[in-house]
Every structure is written in structure tokens, then in C-alpha cells.
Chains A and B, each alone.
Chain A
Amino acid sequence: DAGITQSPRHKVTETGTPVTLRCHQTENHRYMYWYRQDPGHGLRLIHYSYGVKDTDKGEVSDGYSVSRSKTEDFLLTLESATSSQTSVYFCAISESPASNTEAFFGQGTRLTVV
């Protein structure tokens, strides 16, 4: 398995509180991504990074921010969590976005906002 660790694996938080999810990789891959997965919506891209300090928005970026200060770590922050952000969050990595490059996913973080 690719060396991707997401933490925490499960979290319950209250509406309005800040939450940070961490993705750590040991593969030295340049590209890192945050997705959320919800029933009926499949995977949806939140933010991605194409290098240290280089990030961009995905399809559903509102309410989320990211940071990447080191190659191995990509942080996803919910500044003020809402119930609509209850979801399973997956981190993914890839060497490049070239069309013959595969992606590797972490085990996911199940976030519940009450």
C-alpha cells in the first residue's frame, strides 16, 4: 500500500468549531488532493496541491482551506464547521497529473459535525 496516513480517522465536532485534517505521505509525490465522499455524490474534489505552497481550488472548496508547507503534509481546515460538512474525507496522492498516472488514496477520515 502507498504510504498515506490520514489523521484523525474519526472525529466528532460541534458546529462552528475549527477542524484540521492531516494527510501525510512517505512517497515523495508532488501532487496531493482532498476529496469528500457523500452518498449520491461520489467523490468530489475540494482542493489540491501541485507542490509546496502551491494549491488550488476544486469543485467544492467553499468553507475549506488547505496548506502545504512540506512535501509530505497536506492539511485541510474547516474554519467553522457546519453540519453540511459531515462527510468522509479522502486524501489522494499522485506523481503527476499525466494521463497514464495512477492515484493512491488514504483510508479516509469520517467527520461528523453536530
Chain B
Amino acid sequence: DAKTTQPPSMDCAEGRAANLPCNHSTISGNEYVYWYRQIHSQGPQYIIHGLKNNETNEMASLIITEDRKSSTLILPHATLRDTAVYYCIVRAPGTGGADGLTFGKGTHLIIQP
């Protein structure tokens, strides 16, 4: 999987939008960007993924820059339950699902009351 760079930690006020950045400057044209999170003592949770276009689902929005070298995960109205480690992952061609999923250090997002 291509290398990603994320800030180690971020704070966000409850009720505000949390914007989590990810740099993936070596991404190639057919690699997807995935986001997972892991709440303390729980299993990793899939959030969203995308290739080129921005994506939105019931949990979050994913904004991918036009050159695809970076992306931002947006949690529109953060709650205390969104406190977790968030992982940005670029999937190599031919890998998907849970096949060889590699989690780096991620961003520890702390939602402040």
C-alpha cells in the first residue's frame, strides 16, 4: 500500500466539524483511499472510501484533491463517541476487503465537550 502521512493527534469541539487530513503523494491512478477508525478496545470500523470523486455517506464525507495527493475526512457534527484513532489507507491495486490491510499510526482524534 502507498505511504500515507497523518498528524498524530487532533482536537475538535463537540458539535463542530472534524477535518482530518491525509497526505498520499505517491498514490497511483488506480489506488483507492480508505478511512477506518478504531475506538478504544473495539475492532476497526470502516468509514468511507473513494477513488477520484468526493464521497459522502451517513458517517462522513471524503474530499480528495484533484491531483489525488491528499484527502480530508470530514465528520460533520462530531460527538464524544467519535473520539478514536483514524486511519487513512491507500490500497494497492489488487488488494481490497481485509486482504493484507495495513494500519499505520493514524490520527488520534479527541472530541472535547
Interface residues of chain A, those whose CB is within 8 Å of chain B, are: 31, 33, 35, 42-43, 45, 48, 90, 92-108
Contacts and interface: CB of A to CB of B under 8 A. Distances in A.
Contact of A99 (B42, B44, B96, B103): B96
B95 interface: yes
Nearest to A102: B46
Given A31-B98, A33-B98, A42-B103, A103 B46 contact: yes
Given A42-B102, A42-B103, A97 B44 contact: no
A105 B45 contact: yes
B34 A102 contact: yes
B103 A98 contact: no
Contacts of A102: 34, 46, 49, 96-97
A93 B97 CA distance: 7
Tier of interface size on chain B: 20 to 34
Given A33-B98, A100-B51, 12 more contacts: A31-B99, A43-B44, A92-B97, A92-B101, A97-B96, A97-B99, A98-B96, A99-B31, A102-B96, A103-B101, A105-B44, A105-B98
A102 B104 CA distance: 17
Nearest to A30: B97
Contacts of B93: 99
24 contacts: A31-B97, A42-B103, A43-B44, A43-B102, A43-B103, A45-B100, A48-B98, A48-B99, A90-B43, A94-B96, A95-B97, A97-B97, A99-B94, A99-B95, A100-B49, A100-B96, A101-B96, A101-B97, A102-B97, A103-B98, A103-B101, A105-B45, A107-B42, A107-B43
